[in-house]
C-alpha cells in the first residue's frame, strides 16, 4: 500500500500528511510539499517520522514512501 | 516607585501582569483589539495541525499579533501525556525559531487528565517538566492548587507555577484562596521573586482582582474575555483589575474586624 506506484511517466508515492494518505511525487522535498499545499514555511513546523525538520532543512529533506509527516501551526488557545 | 506593572518570568520581562489567551474569539480582528485593550504584552498560543485544504484565505493567527509588541507563549493545550507535551513544546519552539517572534525558548506546560474536567494530570505534568527543563526550556507549569505538587514542580526547575483558580473556562474564580496563599508563602520562601500565576477559571474582573490581592504575580485568562458579551470592554476591565489588584496587594489591606470603627472623630460633635 505505502510503496512507490508508477502512474504514467511520473513516479508517485504515498506518504501520510497530518493523518491523511497523500500521493506525492517520488523524492519530493519538504519545501515542495509545503508549496503543493500552499503553506508558508515561516508559519509552520514540520515533523518527519517524529523527528523535527528544521526550516533550513526543508529544501534538502526528501521524503520516502510511507513517511509520516506532521505540519503544524499556531492557533488560538488559552 | 512601586513596580506594580512589570513581571519577570525567566528571561522574559512582561510589561503587564496579565497574560491573555488567543482562543475562542469570533474573529482574529477582535482578538487583536482585545489584546491591545487588555494592556498585556504576552499572549499564549496553541499548536495544531495545519489545514491542508480550505485554508481561510491564508490568514494565520500570527498575522494578527505584532512581534514588536507581544511575546508569544506557546502552550501544550490538549495534551494528555508527558510524551505529547514534549513533542508539542518542541514543535512550538521550532515554529518560533528565526520567525521574528520572541518566545521560542519558553512554554506553558499543560498536561490534562481528561476531556471532561480538563484538570491537570500531576504525574504527566511532573514527567514532562523534567524532560523540558533538561531540554533547555523555561517552563511555566499549569497545575492544580495542590501545595505539595507546586513545591515539587518548583524544585524540579519550573520557571513559574500556574495553579488553576478553578477548572478551565468555568468562570468560577479562585475557589480556594487559602491554598493559593499557602502556595505563595511556600514557594516565595526560597525566592521572593518566584512567579506564581493564577491560570484558568476566572470569570470577571473581581476574580482577577481577588487573585492579585492574594499576592500572585499575575493572571492568565482567555475565556473570561473572549466569551464576554462585549469582549473588548471586558479586556479593558481585566487589565484594570490586574493593575488595581496588584496595587491593593502592595498597598496592604486593613485587617478584618468584627466591629465598626468610626472614620470621623467623636470629639467636637455639636451635641456632645
Please compute the mean of the pLDDT values over residues B61-69 and round it to a whole number. Answer: 97
**Residue A29 cell numbers, joined:** 522535498
* Helix residue ranges, H only, chain B: 28-38, 82-96, 122-134, 147-155, 177-190, 205-214, 223-226, 231-251
Residue of B nearest to A48 (CA): B91
Domain assignment of residue A77, yes or no: no
| Average pLDDT in chain B | 95
Q: Does residue B251 surpass a pLDDT of 70?
A: yes
pLDDT tens digits, residue range B229-244? Answer: 999 999 999 999 999 9
Domain residues for the domain of A20 are 5-72
Q: What is the pLDDT of residue A9?
A: 74
> Is the model's pLDDT at B1 over the cut of 50?
no
* Cβ proximity of A61 and A29 under 8 Å: yes
User: Using CA atoms, how far apart are residues B264 and B260, in angstroms rounded to an integer?
Assistant: 12
CA nearest to B108, candidates B199, B191, B31: B199
CA dist list (Å): A49 to A31, A64, B80: 16, 11, 20
Q: Does A51 touch chain B (CB under 8 A)?
A: no
Residue from B108, B229, B236, B257 carrying the catalytic annotation: B108
Would the ipTM clear 0.85, i.e. be above it?
A: yes
Count of CB contacts below 8 A, A vs B?
A: 109
Walk me through the domains of chain B, giving residue ranges and CATH numbers: 7-251 (3.20.20.70)
Task: Indicate the pLDDT class of residue B2, thresholds 50, 70 and 90.
Answer: very low
Chain B hits for A42, Cβ within 8 Å:
99-100
Burial of A62 per CB tally in 10 Å (0-12, 13-18, 19+):
middle
Say which residue the cell 495534551 belongs to. Answer: B79
Q: Can you list the residues of chain A whose pLDDT is less than 50?
A: none
Q: Which three cell numbers stand for residue B248?
A: 491593593
What pLDDT score was predicted for residue B59?
Answer: 86
Does the annotation mark B108 as catalytic? yes
Q: For residue range B84-108, what is the model confidence (pLDDT) as tens digits?
A: 999 999 999 999 999 999 999 999 9
Judged against a pLDDT cut of 90, whether residue B272 lies above it is answered with no
Q: Name the 3-class secondary structure at B45.
A: strand
Structural domains counted in chain A: 1
| Tally: H helices and E strands in chain A | 1, 6
Q: Return the CATH number at A9.
A: 3.10.20.30
Q: Answer whether A72 sits within 8 Å of B47, measured CB to CB.
A: yes
Amino acid at each position: 500500500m505505502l510503496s512507490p506506484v508508477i502512474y504514467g511517466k511520473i513516479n508517485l508515492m504515498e506518504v501520510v500528511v497530518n493523518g491523511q494518505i497523500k500521493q506525492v511525487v517520488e523524492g519530493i522535498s519538504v519545501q515542495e510539499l509545503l508549496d503543493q499545499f500552499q503553506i508558508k514555511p515561516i508559519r509552520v513546523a514540520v515533523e518527519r517520522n517524529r523527528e523535527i525538520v528544521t526550516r533550513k532543512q526543508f529544501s534538502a529533506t526528501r521524503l520516502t514512501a510511507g513517511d509520516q509527516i506532521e505540519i503544524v501551526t499556531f492557533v488560538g488557545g488559552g | 516607585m512601586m513596580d506594580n506593572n512589570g513581571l519577570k518570568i525567566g528571561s522574559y520581562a512582561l510589561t503587564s501582569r496579565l497574560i491573555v489567551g488567543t482562543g475562542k474569539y469570533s474573529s482574529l480582528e477582535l482578538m487583536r483589539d482585545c489584546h491591545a485593550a487588555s494592556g498585556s504584552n504576552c499572549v499564549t498560543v496553541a499548536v495544531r495541525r495545519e489545514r491542508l485544504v480550505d485554508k481561510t484565505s491564508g490568514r494565520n493567527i500570527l498575522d494578527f499579533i505584532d512581534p514588536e509588541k507581544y511575546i508569544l507563549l506557546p502552550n501544550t493545550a490538549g495534551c494528555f501525556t508527558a510524551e505529547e507535551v514534549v513533542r508539542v513544546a518542541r514543535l512550538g519552539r521550532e515554529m518560533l525559531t528565526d520567525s521574528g517572534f520572541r518566545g521560542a525558548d519558553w512554554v506553558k506546560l499543560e498536561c490534562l487528565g481528561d476531556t471532561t474536567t480538563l484538570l491537570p494530570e500531576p504525574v504527566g505534568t511532573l514527567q514532562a517538566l523534567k524532560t523540558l527543563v533538561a531540554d533547555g526550556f523555561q517552563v511555566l507549569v499549569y497545575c492544580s492548587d495542590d501545595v505539595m505538587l507546586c513545591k515539587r514542580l518548583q524544585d524540579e526547575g519550573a520557571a513559574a507555577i500556574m495553579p488553576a483558580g478553578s477548572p478551565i473556562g468555568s468562570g468560577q474564580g479562585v475557589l480556594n484562596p487559602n491554598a493559593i496563599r499557602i502556595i505563595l508563602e511556600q514557594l516565595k520562601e526560597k525566592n521572593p521573586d518566584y512567579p506564581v500565576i493564577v491560570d484558568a477559571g476566572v470569570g470577571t474582573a473581581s476574580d482577577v482582582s481577588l487573585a492579585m490581592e492574594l499576592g500572585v504575580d499575575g493572571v492568565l485568562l482567555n475565556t473570561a474575555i473572549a466569551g464576554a458579551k462585549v469582549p473588548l470592554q471586558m479586556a479593558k476591565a481585566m487589565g484594570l483589575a490586574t493593575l488595581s489588584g496588584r496595587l491593593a496587594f502592595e498597598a496592604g489591606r486593613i485587617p478584618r474586624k468584627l466591629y465598626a470603627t468610626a472614620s470621623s472623630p467623636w470629639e467636637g460633635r455639636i451635641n456632645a
